[in-house]
Structure 1
């Protein structure tokens, strides 16, 4: 492994290796994602499970709204946390603050027996995520010079670490909550150990934080230690130039696609909301004598991401070599929305399999409906998410890159809030109505976006 100083370039074979700092940042983000997704896998279950069974005993509507407000704010606070780090703290100090608040938030959830303690825990997690999330990604970029050819592969390693953390989190935290610390009477669970899942999530964050604090000075040198200096006179002069017509059209194209993407994420984020609630009661989770914990199904998306990543990358390369070339950005994003809709049609199939059973929890649907839905949702995500981030960075005028990236994040905040609202309606509308509506809206919007392809390509030139 290279021991060259951060950002140093060389023509030797050694230069293709990455600085140790990348692996430290990746290790830290892996444990933070473990912490977040371990908690998220249990949150809606904890909120809706009866008090006597180890939950808070909230009704579906209240739980859905709390879930939506929490996950929505998680995507808003990074705007503030990134700004504070750039101006006053430096990325590394912000990461330490963030990881401390996250760990405290998880430990607060571990001790939660009342709504007030729940809100305190969630607030600490929201604030901690705001400091942590934007600055870890920034640190990866700062480890390399601007034109370093290793940067793309560095972000691939970073992304892989995120998915590894997201994959193992529901398995470990879910097993603690629904198996090891669950109290059983025969085959029936009479009390869940959700709090121990939150405890594991907090310990995971501490592991990442301690490693980062002990090793960052050694392996990251001065990277991210101080706030970013003020812009140069040239940058200030460039920032005062008016936008050209072409730049205005590109910004309009970004906003149009952000509109469609908001609805995609609102459906996609049902993974931690309505899909989890439905899985617990109405999906047959038996594999022989073993009952698959509800939370484990949330590991499907990250493992599908890891498996499909190289395949999807190879597909785009193959398509780019055609005479027609690769699919356009709007085409890829519309495909993502349509696949999301088809995934929810599989959930309609699960509802149909149960027939007229309604709320009878003894009648279950085959789990392959759910696995198929998660698979299609993941393929849809990979058509849309990386393409969208690339689009914003490429089309944004230099002086508005951060602002428009913030708009992209803001769409996820709105989407997560909508996801919670949809989950809160599960007691009001039938599963067929909810899953069918999401499927229909996603597919219709996907084809609407596809019909705008030529117009958007013209605006993006």
Structure 2
């Protein structure tokens, strides 16, 4: 985007009105709050809906299959961000991408709220995956547009914006989880209403608060490109529809084969990204060196998210089947545990931000922070195997063990997630800055694709081995990364 256009956009946005920030932050804060409310509310009960018996309001799927589908769903959500970013950059801009994405998400939740069958369930998943891919990356981009590049409020504005993410993620599982045993469909309906509220406030306040932010198309298709692109999209969609129509009846496309396909894509796509960027003539020698440094960080990120994202799969199942849910005179919904991650982040993120500032030049390097993240992730799994070690796999576990596990992995997340975002912007080749940010999010997609395979090995009987092997692998990788940190730092060419 030209600098003139950027200045024009900033000038069109009222620069005060929301805690001393541009008024547009109000619109984007609550859009993201409601989108995350709907997403995390739906996600908090989705795995239970899949494997609960039909008589209990669920779909009655095999529990192991449900855990794999949940992981694949998470992987596809992150992959779809690439598509959403392309449509915003080339066709209709970020503001329309947010609106269209919200519509698709709401329709997906409405489909889940209608009692139906497995076919309707998968239709809802497609709608939510595509909608999240359109909305999630682009609403963050609009936040960046409402500030000038020199505006000292910019980092603070993003902090407020991310607080909206975590507030939505904290409240939704508590509310939706409370109605889970009454009706899964009521819970999904609440998620749909949440997205509806987000859309209403976005539409009613964007003109006044956002001005021109999100309306520019950074790299629009020319007339010839549009015709060619739409033709290609049409052919691809038609070809995929034909292949699906043939593959399902013939047994070529099954749950297992689809899970395997996404698993391959989860590894193949980021690998191709690295190869293309490294071999590009637009990438100079210093940038190639930094890309090499980025590879072990990316691998560490995949390992970390493979553990962290099991909070909505294996640990959700653990909360439902292995945890004492009548505790301290109250009945706990298994979905409530998924509020712990955003709750701990809300309280601990300012502490970590203060700590890094206080340490200054004495703080760990980027690779060392990543190694700490892997250490905490591994410990979070080792902690959860202790109840089985002391009491066996037949007795119900005190819920405080789960609380401790979620707390420890959040300590790792705060060492990796914000640091990784910052490192990605610093290490990215200039010609591939946006694509490298997409690559960072693909580490979560790769992790979930791998999880779809890993979770199939979990059973209550091999619980200790499952948590022990994965947790131990993370700690071993942590030690290895810590030892390699000085060498990685050399390849980073001055970036700290």
The structure-2 alpha-carbon separation of the partners of 1:269 and 1:356, relative to structure 1 and needing over 3 Å to count, comes to: closer
Kindly indicate whether the alpha-carbon contact (under 8 Å) linking 2:374 and 2:474 is maintained by their aligned counterparts in 1.
yes
User: Partner residue of 1:318?
Assistant: 358
The DSSP-based 3-state class of the residue aligned with 1:283 is coil
User: Partner residue of 1:237?
Assistant: none
Kindly indicate whether the alpha-carbon contact (under 8 Å) linking 1:268 and 1:340 is maintained by their aligned counterparts in 2.
yes
The structure-2 alpha-carbon separation of the partners of 1:124 and 1:242, relative to structure 1 and needing over 3 Å to count, comes to: closer
User: Partner residue of 1:213?
Assistant: 203
Offset, 1:214: 1.1
Offset, 1:14: 9.2
User: Partner residue of 1:302?
Assistant: 342
Kindly indicate whether the alpha-carbon contact (under 8 Å) linking 2:51 and 2:58 is maintained by their aligned counterparts in 1.
yes
The structure-2 alpha-carbon separation of the partners of 1:295 and 1:221, relative to structure 1 and needing over 3 Å to count, comes to: same
Kindly indicate whether the alpha-carbon contact (under 8 Å) linking 2:89 and 2:217 is maintained by their aligned counterparts in 1.
yes
Offset, 1:8: 4.7
User: Partner residue of 1:262?
Assistant: 302
User: Partner residue of 1:412?
Assistant: 444
Kindly indicate whether the alpha-carbon contact (under 8 Å) linking 2:10 and 2:147 is maintained by their aligned counterparts in 1.
yes
Kindly indicate whether the alpha-carbon contact (under 8 Å) linking 1:101 and 1:124 is maintained by their aligned counterparts in 2.
yes
**1:239-254 pair list within 5 angstroms:** 242-254=282-294
Kindly indicate whether the alpha-carbon contact (under 8 Å) linking 1:273 and 1:419 is maintained by their aligned counterparts in 2.
no
The structure-2 alpha-carbon separation of the partners of 1:13 and 1:43, relative to structure 1 and needing over 3 Å to count, comes to: closer
User: Partner residue of 2:332?
Assistant: 292
Is 2:399 aligned against 1:351?
A: no
Offset, 1:205: 0.4
The DSSP-based 3-state class of the residue aligned with 1:58 is coil
CA deviation vs aligned residue, 1:66-100 (integer Å, no higher than 9, x gap): 11111100000111111111111111111110000
**1:1-400 pair list within 5 angstroms:** 7-8=10-11, 17-178=20-181, 181=182, 193-229=183-219, 242-320=282-360, 325-355=362-392, 357=394, 363-400=395-432
Stretch moving more, 376-385 or 405-414: 405-414
The structure-2 alpha-carbon separation of the partners of 1:15 and 1:415, relative to structure 1 and needing over 3 Å to count, comes to: closer
Stretch moving more, 253-262 or 383-392: 253-262
User: Partner residue of 1:186?
Assistant: none
Kindly indicate whether the alpha-carbon contact (under 8 Å) linking 1:64 and 1:422 is maintained by their aligned counterparts in 2.
no
Counterpart CA distance in 2 for 1:122 and 1:149 is 40
Choose between structure 1 and 2: higher helix proportion. Answer: 2
The structure-2 alpha-carbon separation of the partners of 1:259 and 1:194, relative to structure 1 and needing over 3 Å to count, comes to: same
Counterpart CA distance in 2 for 1:445 and 1:301 is 23
Offset, 1:406: 1.7
Counterpart CA distance in 2 for 1:279 and 1:14 is 43
Kindly indicate whether the alpha-carbon contact (under 8 Å) linking 1:48 and 1:57 is maintained by their aligned counterparts in 2.
yes
Kindly indicate whether the alpha-carbon contact (under 8 Å) linking 1:107 and 1:198 is maintained by their aligned counterparts in 2.
yes
Offset, 1:403: 1.6
The DSSP-based 3-state class of the residue aligned with 2:216 is coil
The DSSP-based 3-state class of the residue aligned with 2:180 is helix
User: Partner residue of 1:185?
Assistant: none
* Equivalent pairs, count: 427
CA deviation vs aligned residue, 1:307-357 (integer Å, no higher than 9, x gap): 001111111112215xxx211000111001100111111101122233252
CA deviation vs aligned residue, 1:362-416 (integer Å, no higher than 9, x gap): x211111111100000010000010001001011121111121122111111111
Q: Which sections of structure 1, spanning at least 5 residues, go unmatched?
A: 182-192, 232-239, 358-362
Kindly indicate whether the alpha-carbon contact (under 8 Å) linking 2:380 and 2:409 is maintained by their aligned counterparts in 1.
yes
Kindly indicate whether the alpha-carbon contact (under 8 Å) linking 1:34 and 1:201 is maintained by their aligned counterparts in 2.
yes
User: Partner residue of 1:451?
Assistant: 483
Counterpart CA distance in 2 for 1:137 and 1:158 is 8
Kindly indicate whether the alpha-carbon contact (under 8 Å) linking 2:34 and 2:195 is maintained by their aligned counterparts in 1.
yes
Counterpart CA distance in 1 for 2:25 and 2:306 is 32
